[in-house]
Amino acid sequence: MFPSPQQRQKQNVKSNVKPGFYTIELNKSVWVIPECYQKLTPVGTGAYGAVCSAECITTGDRVAIKKFTRPFQSPIHAKRTQRELRLLRLMRHENVIDLYDMFTPDSSAEALEDVYVLF
């Protein structure tokens, strides 16, 4: 069962999550995502992140969300993250999923730790 908006708000106050976002644990990893994305289901994990499917409650669309694993832990990781995002933004091919949006729950560039990509 999914937590009610009131329960999520209480959790968010405790964990310092910015407004409009909520936390959920998937596969032993904490995800902080916008409240409009619900019904998260793990899809897979890889060397650079994890992917889950979700439903946008405002549009009804099914989306895939990729959470990059520690994208800025080193200059090499930052470069790989930047390279992947640039390629996804530029590529248009029937066998490559389109990048729809990106977001971070972090409030400033100094606090930037997590990057999520929406497909």
Tokens of 81: 């993250």
Binding site feature residues for ATP: 67
Range of the domain at 64: 5-118
pLDDT score for 15: 55
Give the H or E element holding residue 96. none
Tell me, what CATH number does 80's domain have? 3.30.200.20
E strands, the chain, where? 21-26, 29-34, 37-45, 49-56, 62-68, 101-103, 116-118
Amino acid at residue number 38? Q
Instruction: Give the pLDDT band (50/70/90) at residue 6.
Output: very low
Q: Is pLDDT of 7 > 80? A: no
Please tell me the pTM assigned to this model: 0.81
pLDDT (tens digit, 9 = 90+) per residue, 33-84?
A: 999 999 999 999 988 889 999 999 999 999 999 999 889 899 999 999 999 9
Binding site feature residues: 67
pLDDT score for 9: 44
Instruction: Give the pLDDT band (50/70/90) at residue 5.
Output: very low
Burial of 33 (0-12, 13-18, 19+ CB in 10 A): buried
Percentage of residues in the chain having pLDDT higher than 90: 58
Domain count, the chain: 1
Separation between Cα atoms, residue 26 and residue 60, nearest integer Å: 21
Q: Is pLDDT of 13 > 90? A: no
